[in-house]
Amino acid sequence: MNYDHYKTISCGLKGRVMTVTLNRPDQMNATDAVLHREVSRIFYDLRQDDDVDVIVLTGAGKAFSAGGDINWMQEGIDDPSQFEKTGREARDIVFSLLDLDKPVICMMNGHAVGLGATIALLCDVIIASDRAKIGDPHVVMGLVAGDGGAVLWPQNIGYAKAKYYLMTGELMTAAEAERIGLITKAVPPETLEDEVYGLADRFANGPLKAIVWTKVATNLQLKQAMHASFDAGIAYETVSNVSADHREAVDAYRNKREPKFTGQ
């Protein structure tokens, strides 16, 4: 298959391992309308690619993904009707990864924030640079963490810690994320690629059917949880998109000032 039509994602195949790179490095791979649409399609394409057995997902430059692009957020405020399309794409992002019957390793080369954190946590194995941080600060922008985080975080670390981090929007170090079970492993940046591609080759050269079907079986309960909650979560996020606090957060960020929330 050919992936040259993707504008914000680059793909490179080595052997049976495909490296998929979120490729907006100047924007720290923040998600705009184009990247959001392309992430919602790429894993469907990879599922159909018979040349690919294992996928490594990473980000170009310093970050894995810095979350939502602030200009795209402003577009959503100016034209809330686009959230219908965004919501469909968000669903495709989540379930295309959960349904993908190939191992996916996240090489978290830098910060993974908001939707970036959700995409990372949807991977089967998350190996991060120990200089990276991860968090879901939707609430800091006056938004509900409805694009998957409200399901994934409690599944990984339990409700008490998940609700704290989701309701405060605090970021944590990769080392702390490993300690509490949010991610798989934190390693020095100079060994990150060796760790990731060593595991990718181990998968590619292992009993692949057993590995894949173990993933599929393990994902069944996670998919049930996501099916039970995702639509409500994205609906709440859509409603919060038109809130006064979200408008205030975006305006404050764009004008480099502290937001003044009113609870409206």
Structure confidence by residue, pLDDT tens digits, 250-261? 999 999 999 999
Can you list the domains of the chain with their CATH numbers?
1-189+207-264 (3.90.226.10)
Residue 168: pLDDT band with limits 50, 70, 90: very high
- Per-residue pLDDT at 200 exceeds 90: yes
Instruction: Report the side by side order of strands in the sheet with 185-187.
Output: 9-14, 17-22, 54-59, 104-108, 125-129, 185-187
Cβ density class 209-237: b for 16+ within 10 Å, e for less: eebbeebeeebeeebeebeeebeebbeeb
Looking at residue 90, its pLDDT comes to: 97
Query: How many angstroms separate the CA atoms of 166 and 153, rounded?
Result: 8
Query: Strand 172-173 to strand 133-135: parallel, antiparallel, or no bridges (unpaired)?
Result: antiparallel
**Contact predicate 25/9, CB 8 Å:** no
- Per-residue pLDDT at 212 exceeds 90: yes
Beta bridge partners of 93: none
pLDDT tens for 20-32 read 999 999 999 999 9
- Per-residue pLDDT at 83 exceeds 90: no
